[in-house]
Chains A and B, each alone.
Chain A
Amino acid sequence: MLDDFMIRAALAGIGVAFAAAPLGCFVVWRRMAYFGDATAHAAILGVALSLAFSMSIFVGTMTVALLMALVVNVLSGRGYAMDTLLGVLAHSALAFGLVAVSFISGVRIDLMAYLFGDILAVSRVDLSVIWGGAALVVALIGWRWSALLTSTLNEDLAYASGINPKREQLVLTIALAITVAVAIKVVGVLLIAAMLIIPAAAARPLSRTPEGMAVAAGLIGMLSAIVGLRAAYVLDTPAGPTIVCIAAITFLATSILKSFRHGR
Chain B
Amino acid sequence: MSLVQVENLSVCYGARTVLSRVSLRVEPGEIVTIVGPNGSGKTSLLRAIIGAVTPVKGRVIQGDGVKIGYVPQKLHVDGTLPITVSRFLKLPGGVAVADIDHALKQAGVPDLAKAQLSQLSGGQFQRVLLARALIGKPDLLLLDEATQGLDQRGSASFYQQIETVRQDTGCAVLMISHELHVVMSASDRVICLNGHVCCEGTPAVVASAPEYRALFGTGTGGALALYRHEHDHDHGHGDHNHDHSEAAE
Contact = CB atoms under 8 A, between A and B. Distances in A.
Contacts of B116: 208
A210 B83 contact: yes
Interface string B45-61: 00100111000000000
Contacts of A158: 92
A209 B175 CA distance: 32
Nearest to A29: B81
Contact of A161 (B77, B80, B82, B92): B92
B159 interface: no
Interface string A142-159: 000011011011111111
B129 to A, nearest CB: 8
B75 interface: yes
Contact of B93 (A28, A29, A146, A157): A146
B72 interface: yes
Contacts of B178: none
B96 interface: no
A252 B116 CA distance: 23
Contact of A159 (B50, B82, B93): B50
Given A150-B91, A150-B92, A157 B72 contact: yes
A159 B92 contact: no
B212 interface: no
A157 B81 contact: no
B81 A154 contact: no
B227 interface: no
A201 interface: yes
B52 A155 contact: yes
A160 interface: yes
A146 B87 CA distance: 10
A162 B80 CA distance: 25
B239 interface: no
B70 interface: yes
Contacts of B161: none
Given A29-B80, A156-B72, A210 B87 contact: yes
A147 B92 contact: yes
Contacts of B84: 208-209
A154 B144 CA distance: 14
A28 B80 contact: yes
Given A160-B70, A201-B80, A153 B92 contact: no
Interface string B61-85: 0000000111010010110111110
A153 B132 CA distance: 13
Nearest to A148: B92
A163 B142 CA distance: 17
Nearest to A26: B81
A31 interface: yes
Given A146-B92, A208-B116, A209-B82, 13 more contacts: A29-B78, A149-B83, A149-B92, A156-B50, A156-B52, A156-B70, A157-B75, A158-B92, A160-B51, A160-B142, A163-B92, A208-B82, A210-B82
24 contacts: A28-B80, A146-B91, A146-B93, A149-B83, A149-B92, A150-B91, A150-B92, A153-B75, A153-B91, A156-B52, A157-B75, A157-B132, A158-B92, A159-B47, A159-B50, A159-B52, A160-B70, A160-B142, A208-B84, A209-B87, A210-B81, A210-B82, A210-B83, A212-B82
Interface of A: 28-31, 146-147, 149-150, 152-163, 201, 204, 207-210, 212-213
